[in-house]
Structure 1
Amino acid sequence: MSDTGSRSGTGSREAIRLGDGLRRWLFRPPRRHGEVDTDRTVSFLELFYDLVYVVLIGQAAHALAEDVSWRGTVTFAVVFGLIWIAWLNGTLFYELHGREDGRTRSMIFLQMLLLALMAAYVGHADGEDGRTLAVLYALLLVLLSWQWYSVYRQDPPEYRRTPRQYLVVMLAGIALVVVSAPLSADARLGVWALFVLGWCAVESGVLVGWRRNPAYNVVTDSMVERFGLFIIIVLGEVVVGVVDGLANADRTALVVTTGLLGLAVGFGFWWSYADLVARQPPREARASLAAWMFIHLPMTMAVAAAGAGMVGLIEHADDGRTPGALSFLMSGSVAVMFLTVVAVLPTLEVYGRRASAYFSVQVVFTGAAVASLLIGWSRPAPWLLALSLQLLLLVTWVFVFVRWLREGRLVNEV
């Protein structure tokens, strides 16, 4: 047997010099557009990265729990939008261009340092802390833009048009966030809202235009799993809200019952997403991929908002009627969950194969969203509000279960 065969048979390799190893580990460029790794799985680093974002979301949800008002809700929605946009940028970069090397890890950890600093200011984003938050967020966008530019520099000419558009939007967003820093709290919040809405709208258009003539596959199992895992991690805010509420209340039978009923609403969120959306890849062509991605923004926001509302439900457990803003926060969160599931279903690959079954689900979920808002408008006692919303989620899932059985399969079977 030759020496080459012996080495390949035993799996031994020649040693790599320290200098060459460091250069390869730390300075290897990211994957170019088109170099999609379809066999990769979600890494521990990505999960660690997501947990830092959930800390930011937790701080924003805590601020909402302390100020369940229309202004507090709007502030939460805008700040959540900022957080989600940053998460989407970091997630897509790692998915499309990241490597398991020192360069990628270093850039992720650098982002996490900025995110940890941002978390200290998110809770008072509608006050003076908003100025510092704007500066830190702009720095985060600069770092993310540099990563995308590092890919653009090495892309072949046929792939550069869409990344160039993406970078232009990112730079415009950085300028807008920087301009917002010295403004008053209300004006700054308005600029941030403009940034969130504008960025999502423009980038959706860029993505739709790109996928009309797709140059390579983008949707991978790891990307679909990443979005689903983020929803599940944010669902932890529902548990945190219930635990915080119970920890700071007199734990009477009514208070504990209200908390557990509220937690069951979170179970309903999980069930709806896990059985209808999770692990189902979207279609790549035209608007489906963009819609699938950006519908996850209000869906995830609804989950986090419901978690914030749990604290108020427990705090007011002894009230005869739920306070108006709190009632609409909870019922609105459930309604948004129903409606975002309705909206996301047509974007899935599986929808075309079972259009009639999914259409019936869309009809029932739309009716459930209306019923949820009516429940919120009626402002029942907190325990009854939680129970009503939980039963609404249960009834819709039972409908899905029975509908799938009629097709000879169980829910979440492909």
Structure 2
Amino acid sequence: MPDTDGGRGTAPGEAIRLGDGLRRWFLRPPRRHGEVDTERTVSFLELFYDLVYVVLVGQAAHALAEDVSWRGTATFAVVFGLIWIAWLNGTLFYELHGREDGRTRSMIFLQMLLLSLMAAYAAHADGEDGRTLAVLYALLLALLSWQWYSVYRRDPPGRRRTAGQYLLVMLAGIALVVASAPLSADARLGVWALFVLGWCAVESGVLASWRREAEYDVVTDSMVERFGLLLIIVLGEVVVGVVDGLANTDRSALVITTGLLGLAVGFGFWWSYADLVARKPPREVRASLVAWIIVHLPLTMAVAAAGAAMVGLIEHAGDSRTPAGPSWLMSGSVAVMSLMIVAVLPTLEDYGRRASAYATVQVVFTGTAATSLLIGWARPAPWLLALSLQLLLLAAWSLAFVRWLRDGRLLNEV
């Protein structure tokens, strides 16, 4: 790659002094806006980074599994929103500005230290642990803001406006999170909810304005892959939910059957996303890129929540009716996931060429969402609930597949 940091380039085979090599490895500044590496692939470091989020999401989902109530669900949604915003900031910075050098690695590992500490407090975020979690989260945001500021300093004046707006939103978020630390648990969760909603709304406006007339491409194959990997992370919670449920219950034939049927619902999640959304880049102009990014928040949250619902289904496998909490959580997760697929399809790059086929899929998955909620309201036995939702997702995918065949295309074709 060409040397873009303003330093002296090194000819092939030329020896580098130790001091120059160390400075270049650890002090080389990040890439400016516009210096997008379209050929990069997802690195081992990014995969390692995402593993820490596996633990964070797992702790939040574990807390929801223990308290499947309106309050427990609301707490999970807020904490997951905090986690997702942190993941998004770290991921986009690495994608747009990171390098394969010691500076980037050091900053990523520092984030991972903070994230690991946060995981220790995430399971009881609605109690006293929430105070410490707020402080740690503010520190993480401060570190991320400093990274973005390091790019802002190097950007040419014409590209600083959007970066400056982004930094102001981040700084306001830090102040809000810090202010929440001494509050009561309910008030603190309320402030966090305000932060998540406010951040998504304001940043959507900032980023939509930035992409109204795109000066350069920012969507790469590696960026699209990272969002797909996030779904894999939360799908892991479905597997964990099934395993936890089976490990802590007498494993009768009915219990095992219920667990396996629940896991098959997770397979339905994967199949729907993999064939309809995964590895398909969004359009970069106007609000399409922003919508594509933001939709992944409720989409991945719903899948992670389904993992928590699995525990309740297995624990009550012998009941004639599924308890209201797990029933609504499971069916609601399927409904939200289906509606988010409906919402994300118009943002895809190939939507214009396949508008008719996509419209059919949108109708199918809208019906899937409504039917899922009816199943949750009916509260059949846990095994029947899981089977019904799994068959519902299978029917939706099958109808989409038939529509694609009639269109002369395969589902996973780009």
Same fold? TM cut 0.5: yes
Would you say 1:105 and 2:105 are equivalent positions?
Answer: yes
Q: What is the DSSP-based 3-state SS (H/G/I as helix, E as strand, rest coil) of the residue aligned with 1:325?
A: helix
Per the normalisation by structure 1, the TM-score is 0.97
Structure 2 counterpart of 1:43: 43
Q: What is the DSSP-based 3-state SS (H/G/I as helix, E as strand, rest coil) of the residue aligned with 1:349?
A: coil
Shift of 1:12: 6.4
Would you say 1:171 and 2:171 are equivalent positions?
Answer: yes
Structure 2 counterpart of 1:202: 202
Give the distance between the partners of 2:230 and 2:364, measured in 1 at CA: 26
Structure 1 counterpart of 2:364: 364
Give the distance between the partners of 1:21 and 1:38, measured in 2 at CA: 26
Would you say 1:354 and 2:354 are equivalent positions?
Answer: yes
Letter in 2 for 1:361: V
Shift of 1:188: 0.1
Aligned pairs for 1:312-351 (under 5 A) are 312-351=312-351
Shift of 1:54: 1.4
Shift of 1:25: 0.1
Letter in 2 for 1:242: V
Alignment CA distance shift 1:19-1:344 (3 Å): same
Would you say 1:247 and 2:213 are equivalent positions?
Answer: no
Shift of 1:14: 2.1
| Cα deviation digits, residues 70-120 of structure 1 (max 9, x gap) | 100000000000000000000000000000000000000000000000000
Structure 2 counterpart of 1:389: 389
Give the distance between the partners of 1:363 and 1:14, measured in 2 at CA: 62
Shift of 1:369: 0.2
Structure 1 counterpart of 2:297: 297
Give the distance between the partners of 2:407 and 2:360, measured in 1 at CA: 13
Structure 1 counterpart of 2:4: none
Q: What is the DSSP-based 3-state SS (H/G/I as helix, E as strand, rest coil) of the residue aligned with 1:153?
A: helix
Give the distance between the partners of 1:224 and 1:338, measured in 2 at CA: 20
Would you say 1:183 and 2:174 are equivalent positions?
Answer: no
Aligned pairs for 1:19-30 (under 5 A) are 19-30=19-30
Give the distance between the partners of 1:79 and 1:121, measured in 2 at CA: 11
Shift of 1:251: 0.5
Give the distance between the partners of 1:54 and 1:205, measured in 2 at CA: 29
Runs of 4+ in 1 over 3 A off after TM superposition: none
Shift of 1:366: 0.3
Aligned pairs for 1:267-306 (under 5 A) are 267-306=267-306
| Cα deviation digits, residues 144-203 of structure 1 (max 9, x gap) | 000000000010011000000000000000000000000000000000000000000000
Give the distance between the partners of 2:253 and 2:134, measured in 1 at CA: 44
Letter in 2 for 1:146: W
Structure 1 counterpart of 2:262: 262
Letter in 1 for 2:182: P
Q: What is the DSSP-based 3-state SS (H/G/I as helix, E as strand, rest coil) of the residue aligned with 2:183?
A: coil
Structure 2 counterpart of 1:6: none
Shift of 1:409: 2.5
Letter in 2 for 1:208: A
| Cα deviation digits, residues 233-252 of structure 1 (max 9, x gap) | 22111111101110111110
| Cα deviation digits, residues 11-32 of structure 1 (max 9, x gap) | 9612211111000000000000
Which segments of 5 or more consecutive residues in structure 2 lack a partner in the other structure? 1-10
Structure 1 counterpart of 2:154: 154
Letter in 1 for 2:75: T
User: CA RMSD of the aligned region, Å?
Assistant: 0.8
Shift of 1:41: 0.3
Give the distance between the partners of 1:76 and 1:384, measured in 2 at CA: 26
Per the normalisation by structure 2, the TM-score is 0.97
Structure 2 contact 299–340 (Cα < 8 Å) conserved: yes
Structure 2 counterpart of 1:133: 133
Give the distance between the partners of 1:408 and 1:217, measured in 2 at CA: 30
Give the distance between the partners of 2:257 and 2:287, measured in 1 at CA: 44
Size of the aligned set, in residue pairs, is 404
Structure 2 counterpart of 1:120: 120
Letter in 2 for 1:399: L
State the identity as a percent: 85
Structure 2 contact 134–180 (Cα < 8 Å) conserved: yes
Give the distance between the partners of 1:112 and 1:343, measured in 2 at CA: 32
Structure 2 contact 235–266 (Cα < 8 Å) conserved: yes
Shift of 1:410: 2.0
Structure 2 counterpart of 1:402: 402
Shift of 1:402: 0.8
Give the distance between the partners of 1:62 and 1:173, measured in 2 at CA: 26
Letter in 1 for 2:294: F
Indicate the larger mover: 404-413 or 257-266.
404-413
Shift of 1:131: 0.1
Give the distance between the partners of 2:83 and 2:285, measured in 1 at CA: 27
| Cα deviation digits, residues 338-388 of structure 1 (max 9, x gap) | 000000000001111010000000001001100000100111111010000
Indicate the larger mover: 368-377 or 206-215.
206-215
Letter in 1 for 2:18: L
Give the distance between the partners of 1:154 and 1:207, measured in 2 at CA: 20
Give the distance between the partners of 1:248 and 1:208, measured in 2 at CA: 47
Give the distance between the partners of 2:12 and 2:100, measured in 1 at CA: 21
Give the distance between the partners of 2:410 and 2:17, measured in 1 at CA: 55
Letter in 2 for 1:78: V
Give the distance between the partners of 2:123 and 2:361, measured in 1 at CA: 38
Structure 2 contact 364–400 (Cα < 8 Å) conserved: no
Letter in 2 for 1:326: P
Give the distance between the partners of 1:308 and 1:77, measured in 2 at CA: 12
Letter in 2 for 1:375: I
Q: What is the DSSP-based 3-state SS (H/G/I as helix, E as strand, rest coil) of the residue aligned with 2:413?
A: coil
Give the distance between the partners of 1:410 and 1:218, measured in 2 at CA: 27
